[in-house]
Structure 1
Amino acid sequence: MNCKNCNSEVSQNYCSNCGQPATLKRIDGHYIVGEIGQILNFEKGIFYTIKELLIRPGENVRHFILENRNRLVKPIIFIIVTSLIYSLVNTFFHIEDGYIKYDEVNKSSVGLIFKWAQNNYGYANIFMGVFIALCTKLFFRKYNYNFYEILILLCFVMGMGMLIFAFFALLQGVTKLDLMGIAGLIGVAYITWSIGQFFDKKKPINYLKAFASYILGALISVFFAIAIGVLIDILSK
């Protein structure tokens, strides 16, 4: 028989060319449990990734980029999953209802863009990460990392930032205390520490550069979104 994936001849249980099983097992409960287990398993799954990024973020991301890309969850998946976790916590406890009023938001394209960002944190964080990566590349131009490698770094550390927000949002929902301001400070501090550690943790100036690149990139992304919204409003009149 021929492989259904690459059409090579198969004489054993697996294709010698691409590794595809000769006969796929039916999707059942065991398959679903196995897929979930692969995502959540502590060895190479999201729990392991969170643990490693919590204690040695810069070292682990550098190892992922330069040496081994199988130990951590894929960065794009990580930031989308962690953003989804925050969105679910926010939806359940309505944390942001006290900060954002949609009566004014719905009246302009700018408001609609920010409403979309709030409803799609994973993609919005990737969008913001592009501008932060550009600023980080500018501030750390002496280091031999390209734009895409820096973007991978930001996917990991911004994903952890979303988990920090999710944790404090959960605490706020349970305790009714206003904790999101603290979450913001800790989130920015973590991202700054992670970026500085990634490039060279022994240089204090790197942490200042990391903070500047994060804040500047975030502001530029906001201004860019506002500019797009304003331009849409102008062209639609």
Structure 2
Amino acid sequence: MICKNCNTEVTLNYCPNCGQPAKLHRIDGHYIQHEMEHILHFERGILFTIRELLLRPGQSIREFIADNRARLVKPIIFIIVTSLIYTLTIHYFHVEDGYVKLNAPEAVFTSKMFKWYQDHYGYGNIMMAVFIAFWIKVFFKKYEYNFFEILILLCFIIGIAMLIYALFALIVGLTKLPLMFIGGILGFIYISWAIGQFFDKTKLINYGKAFLAYILGMITFTILAFLIGFSVDAIMKL
């Protein structure tokens, strides 16, 4: 039998070159159930990933980058899923302004851009991660992690922060208690703690640098967004 994915000869149940199954099972109810269980099961699933990132984020992410990439959910999938959970939670309970409220200027494009960011804060954080990664690279350059490895770090950490924000949005939606501010603070604390632990948990200065890198990343992202918005609006008026 020839593998349909890489054209390698297959003599067992899986291709020895790419791992493609020799025979694909038909997609049915059992297949969908298996895929859902694969995502949610505790070992190598999203629940296991959440537990590891809450208890030992630095060590878990370092192991993912350097040693074993099979134990945790893939970082891009993780941040997309957690951002989706956050977005659905805040929209369902109508607490969109709890964490971020931007008073956009009257310019048309700029206003629409910031309105989109406010309504899609979870996905906006994915874009913001690029700028945060830049500042982390500046403050922690001696550790020699490249830019893309730092992005992987942020995908995991921001994903957990999204779950923290979603949890407090859920509590506020159910109890009507003004606790969103506490959720925001806890999210900042977790991000700073996790980044500092990733580089060297024994150095207190790393936690301060992590917090500063996160704040500067947010500021840089906001300034650039304003510049882009104003530029587009100026061009549209010509």
Q: Percent identity?
A: 60
After TM superposition, the structure 1 = structure 2 runs for residues 112-191 of structure 1, keeping only pairs within 5 Å, are 112-191=112-191
How far residue 17 of structure 1 moved from its aligned partner, in angstroms, is 3.0
SS of the aligned residue for 2:15 comes to coil
State the Cα deviation string for residues 60-99 of structure 1 (Å, max 9, x = none): 1111111111111111111110000001111110111578
Give 1:7 deviation, angstroms: 2.3
Query: Match of 2:73, SS?
Result: coil
Q: Which residue of 1 aligns with 2:213?
A: 213
- Structure 1, 166-175 or 14-23: larger mean CA deviation: 14-23
CA distance in 2 between counterparts of 1:151 and 1:59 reads: 16
Distance apart, 1:45 and its partner CA: 0.6
User: For the structure 1 residues 136 and 108, does the alpha-carbon distance in structure 2 shift closer, same or farther, using more than 3 Å as the test?
Assistant: same
Distance 1:191 1:98, change over 3 A: closer
Which position in structure 1 is the counterpart of 2:200? 200
Instruction: Report the Cα distance in structure 1 between the residues aligned to 2:100 and 2:203, rounded to whole angstroms.
Output: 39
Aligned equivalents of 2:162, 2:123: Cα separation in 1: 13
**Counterpart amino acid of 1:58?**
G
Letter in 1 for 2:226: I
Question: Which structure 1 residue ranges, 5 or more long, are not aligned?
Answer: none
| Structure 1 residues 234 and 168: CA distance shift in structure 2, 3 A | same
Give the match's secondary structure for 2:83. helix
Alignment correspondent of 1:33 = 33
Q: Is the 8 A contact 1:157 1:191 kept in 2?
A: yes
Q: Compared with structure 1, are the counterparts of its residues 6 and 188 closer, same or farther at alpha carbon in structure 2 (3 Å cutoff)?
A: same
Q: How does 1:69-80 map to 2 (within 5 A)?
A: 69-80=69-80
2:190 aligns to what SS in structure 1? helix
Counterpart CA distance in 1 for 2:206 and 2:18 is 44
- Number of the residue aligned with 1:235: 235
CA distance in 2, matches of 1:72, 1:115: 34
Alpha-carbon spacing, 1:8–1:53, altered in 2? closer, same or farther (3 Å): same
Given the superposition, is the C-alpha separation of residues 98 and 77 from structure 1 closer, same or farther in structure 2, using an over 3 Å criterion?
A: closer
User: 2: CA distance between counterparts of 1:168 and 1:104?
Assistant: 25
Aligned positions, number: 237
Alignment map for 1:46-57 (pairs within 5 Å): 46-57=46-57
Contact kept, 8 Å, 2:98 with 2:180, in 1: the verdict is no
Q: Please give the alpha-carbon distance, in whole angstroms, between the structure 2 residues aligned to 1:102 and 1:179.
A: 19
Checking the alignment, whether the CA contact within 8 Å between 2:199 and 2:206 is kept in structure 1 is yes
- Structural RMSD (CA): 2.1
Per the normalisation by structure 1, the TM-score is: 0.93
How far off its partner does 1:110 sit? 1.7
Which stretch shows the higher mean deviation, 189-198 or 88-97? 88-97
Runs of at least 5 residues in structure 2 that lack an aligned partner in the other structure: none
SS at match of 1:96: coil
Question: When the two structures are superposed, what TM-score results if normalisation uses the length of structure 2?
Answer: 0.92
